[in-house]
Chains A and B, each alone.
Chain A
Amino acid sequence: MLREAPAGLPRQAELAATPFFPQERYQCGPAALAMTLGAAGIDVAPEALVPQVYVPEREGSLPPEMLAAGRRNGAFSMTVPPRLDALLAEVAAGNPVLVLQNLSLPWVPLWHYSVVIGYDLDRTELVLRSGTTARTTMALSTFEHTWARSQSWGMVTLAPGRLPRTAQEAPTVAAAVAFEQANGAAAARRVYAAALERWPQDLALLLGLGNSAYAAGNVAAAVDAFRRAVAAHPDSAPALNDLAFALNAMGRRREARAAAQKALSLGGPWQEAVRDTLRSIDAAPRRR
């Protein structure tokens, strides 16, 4: 329960620009997802999402597939912490939240996806796009009862480069890696760059940034990112390996070999990859 408003939260917020798609029968999942994607500037019709999330025999859509479909359509999707204050903070930050509720009781469940687009703390209610209703309000306490039955599951689908206000480091890194796998390394560059503004030392994020720069053909930017990774993690064989690889791609063999040899001296599970890099440095045509 929300005993008191989190500090710094405005009393009211409403993301009125969030588009609305009335749901077809059983298809609140595709409709809700189309709304949050639309809010991120990704125009997809609910019908196009049906083959991506709807499960006919279950007459509904499953939460893991909702996250996956968000990524498939080019959004950075991740769950938000299962707390009302986090939900409100996301809405206040401009991110509509797709929530799963059981509107009924556990023994006669009525599972339903809707989109929280606003709240009013003075009236203690939430504003939602839900079902066939473009704007409905629900008492905060009713929402909490119905939301708790899904373990307070909620997700956002954001334009790449935006992050949830309440995101924690490890889930954000996992979501960024998942985004890269779905959309390719080059497309993930903005996601890694945004996450690094919050967690500038994170090894996986730094390697992700370098890999995405390299994939986009910007080898110099890749070298910069890998240098940052080595500076923050001098004993990381993957960081040194990637720096060596990128330096070699720029024709800077001597520096590349030094980095690879340092990586080799560290031992550990990356030795095979490092040896391959070292061999490719030795095999590279000598520069004139």
Chain B
Amino acid sequence: MKNGIETVELRNENPIVSFRLLFRVGSIHDGAKPGITALTAALMARGGTASLTAAELNQKLFPMAAEIDVQVDKELTVFTGRVHRDHLATYLPMFMDVLLAPRFDPKEFERMRADAVADIEKRLRTSDDENLGKAALEWMMHLDNWGAFVGGTVRGLKAMTLDDAKKHARTFFTRDHLTAGFAGGATDTIIDDVTKRLATLPVCDARVKGTVGKPQPRVLIIENGASSTAVSIGHPIALARNFADFIPLRVGMSAFGEHRQSGGRLFERLREKRGLNYGDYAYAEAFVQEPDTTHPLVNIARSRQDFSIWIRPVAHEHAMFALRAALYELDKLLREGLTDDEVKRAGGFLDGFSRQWEAADLRRLGYALDDVFYGTKGYLGELRAQIPSLTAEKVNAAIRRHVRFGDLQIAIVTKDGKKLRDAILLGAPTPITYPTPKSKDVVAEDPKIAAFPLRFKPEEVVVVPVSQLFEN
């Protein structure tokens, strides 16, 4: 604690000073106004301050190439800042004003609200099959505030007013929700100055009522005219980084399908051996990719977590086969488990690769703040410390305890939903043909995959037009 504000410090000789101001506020606090946290945070970070319009703020930050940004997730909102120490004195008052004296300019509010609506209507629903499936799956898996899309709904955004945003900021972006992180060339003086200023934020006096949605189907088929079919599969798990089983499950999912890496079972068998698509991955916790890298975003910490599988777009005619192949592999994983070699390899990979997740100051700081959220003592260090002692037995036991085949839900984004639904319900084999001869093991296994039982009841498989998603 410094000046009454909880702090995390990772100081070094870097001439760049990095800040992460983390609030325990996210889309679960949207209440009856879906999207309000994301819109409010964007308005604060980019909509100007009491003394500077949005345009003036851009112009002031520009010669310094200094950054002010914000990231909103289900339970956390983090304002990030970076500046070269040459410019700290000019930068800091502006960065502080973003939180302490945001402008709440009506024009900026209208602009960002329109952008948020367009983001749902004209991007997520139509041009981003990958994230659409993931967002739909999260919505299916959690019937309350946790399932809502962080960006909100079309109707929720359209009904929002500037006063709603002002009130939301005052109520939730408060000092009791805040942990302030400092990295790089931050000095005692800087930290003292920043925490003193942040201590003037109000204290939260509100509670949010939960919203509960209708139960969702087991299989949701979303029709959006996609040129290929993407599949997301998963279920909620009662497990996060602060549980003993998490690290074994994390290593297990790495062996089953590490995000954007070759070598995982799913990748190996769906893409490498069969050429079905570009990649196939599995996750032990909520995962959002950092733009332009394959690394996980930091501060996507959540108290409710999901296990999930992501099958990247496949040709429509291979959709049934790919879906069955993913389920076949999962079933096999649960029955036969991973081998010691697979666990050793995944462990070795995470041991080395995880060091890159914390190569930059701002990311290292994010992990330290996630540790505060989970109450862990250095998650990445703990991951690496446990790896040498992990055996296939331990990893398989964790997988079997937490991954439940019968609880899976599936979101599919495709063109002809009815046809796919019929095929799922009919249950007849859906064999595949290849343009080239395949190895013996593939030829022998394919009929088993093609006939893998799906066992869904008609009422469990629902087709919806994309326009119904994230609308209300």
- Are A and B genuine complex partners? no
